[in-house]
């Protein structure tokens, strides 16, 4: 395998690993706080307490950044997320 092919392969693997690193299965954190499932590629994200939070768009990210209690914001998303995992919400 040529070096350039190996580098490209490693770069692609790194991109797919970063896309899978978001909390809540890469779903929009703001959407979850509202009881809505918005899938995301996690290209719009924010680090919070060592976790990558994903957002469906810049406005959703700004809602998180503007929140007075970010811990409560994330807790609300986390409280709804089990419903998403159970399949009772799509």
Dihedral sign for Cα 89, 49, 43, 33, please.
Answer: positive
What value does the mean pLDDT take over residues 52-68?
98
The answer to the question of residue 5 being in a domain is no
The answer to the question of residue 75 being in a domain is yes
For 45, the domain range is 22-86
Question: Residue 84 has what pLDDT?
Answer: 95
The answer to the question of residue 74 being in a domain is yes
The answer to the question of residue 15 being in a domain is no
The answer to the question of residue 4 being in a domain is no
Closest by CA position to 56, among listed 69, 68, 45, 66: 45
Is 32 exposed, middle or buried (CB count within 10 Å of its CB: 0-12, 13-18, 19+)?
buried
The answer to the question of residue 82 being in a domain is yes
| Average pLDDT of the residues of the chain | 85
The answer to the question of residue 36 being in a domain is yes
Question: Residue 73 has what pLDDT?
Answer: 98
Considering the entire predicted model, what is its pTM?
A: 0.77
**Number of structural domains found in the chain:** 1
How confident is residue 21, by pLDDT bands cut at 50, 70 and 90? confident
The answer to the question of residue 16 being in a domain is no
């Amino acid at each position: 395998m040529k070096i350039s092919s190996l580098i490209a392969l490693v770069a692609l693997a790194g991109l797919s690993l970063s896309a899978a690193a978001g909390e809540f299965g890469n779903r929009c954190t703001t959407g979850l706080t509202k009881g809505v499932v918005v899938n995301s590629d996690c290209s719009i994200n924010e680090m919070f307490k060592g976790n990558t939070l994903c957002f469906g768009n810049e406005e959703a990210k700004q809602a998180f950044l503007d929140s007075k209690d970010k811990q409560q914001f994330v807790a609300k998303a986390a409280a709804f997320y089990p419903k998403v995992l159970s399949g009772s919400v799509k």
